[in-house]
Amino acid sequence: MQGTGDEAFICIKNFSYIFFNYRLVYFYYKYVVLFILFNN
């Protein structure tokens, strides 16, 4: 019982981590595109 609970917690933790990284990469990518547009 405790093992499955830990697995579920790790799964939720990894999902939130991946979701946060996706938002961070998207924000950074948008910043880079704006930077390139303003430089050109």
Domain boundaries, the chain: 1-40
pLDDT at 2: 61
pLDDT at 3: 59
Give the burial string for 15-37 (b: 16+ CB within 10 Å, else e).
Answer: eeeeeeeeeeeeeeeeeeeeeee
Query: How do residues 3-32 score in pLDDT, each as one tens digit?
Result: 567 888 888 888 888 888 888 899 999 999
pLDDT at 33: 93
Q: What is the largest CA-CA distance in the chain?
A: 59
